[in-house]
Amino acid sequence: MTFLPDEAWLELLDIRATDPTAIGAALAARTSRPLLANDGATFIIAIDHPARGMVGVSGQPFVMADRRDLLERTMTALADPGVDGVMATPDILDDLALLGALDDKVAIGSINRGGLMGSAWELDDQLTGHTVRSIVDQGLDGAKMLLRIDLADERSRPTIEACARWITELAAAEKIAMLEPLPYTTSPAGDKYLDTDEDALVKCVGIASALGASSAYTWLKLPATAQVERVMAATSLPGLILGGTPGPDPESAFDEWRRAMAVPNVRGLVVGRSLLYPPDGDVAAAVTIAAEIVHPHLIPEEETQ
Residue ranges of the domains in the chain?
Answer: 6-297
Q: What is the pLDDT of residues 137-161, one digit of tens each?
A: 999 999 999 999 999 999 999 999 9
Burial class (CB in 10 A: 0-12, 13-18, 19+), 258: middle
Average pLDDT, the chain: 95
More confident call, 11 vs 243: 11
Running DSSP on this structure, what letter comes out for residue 52?
A: G
The predicted-structure confidence for 6-30, as pLDDT tens digits, reads as follows 999 999 999 999 999 999 999 999 9
Residue 249 is predicted with a pLDDT of 85
Mean pLDDT of 244-269: 92
Which uninterrupted H or E stretch holds 266? strand 266-271
Closest by alpha carbon to 97, among 81, 74, 114? 74
Return the CATH class of domain 6-297. alpha beta
DSSP-derived 3-state class of residue 86:
strand
Q: What letter does residue 223 receive in the DSSP assignment? A: -
**Residue 191 burial class via C-beta count within 10 angstroms: exposed 0-12, middle 13-18, buried 19 and up:** exposed
pTM of the model: 0.95
CA 25, 55, 245, 211 torsion: positive or negative? negative
pLDDT band at 59 (very low <50, low <70, confident <90, very high): confident
Asked if residue 303 has pLDDT above 60, the reply is: no
Following CA atoms 288, 290, 294, 296 in sequence, which dihedral angle do they give, to the nearest 10 degrees? Answer: 50
What pLDDT was estimated at residue 277? Answer: 95
pLDDT of residue 297: 87
- For 86-106, letters b (16+ CB in 10 Å) and e give bbbbbebbbbbbbbebbeebb
- CB distance 201 to 244 below 8 Å: no
Mean pLDDT of 44-62: 94
Per-residue model confidence (pLDDT) at position 216: 98
For range 95-124, the mean pLDDT:
96
Residues 6+ apart with CB under 8 A from 121: 114, 115, 155
Given a cut of 90, whether residue 81 has pLDDT beyond it is yes
The answer to whether 267 and 42 have CB atoms below 8 angstroms apart is yes
3 state DSSP class of 148: strand
110-119 in b/e form (b: 16+ CB < 10 A) is bbbbbbeeee
Backbone torsions φ then ψ of 117, nearest 5 degrees: -60, 130
pLDDT of residue 103: 96
Whether pLDDT at 273 is above 80: yes
Answer yes or no: is pLDDT of 305 > 60.
no
Distance CA 63, CA 58 (A): 9
- What is the residue-wise DSSP string for 189-220? TS-EEE---HHHHHHHHHHHHT-SS--TTEEE
- Quote the CA–CA distance of 169 and 120 in Å, as a whole number: 29
* SS3 assignment, position 88: strand
| pLDDT of 38 over the 60 cut | yes
The pLDDT of residue 292 is above 90: yes
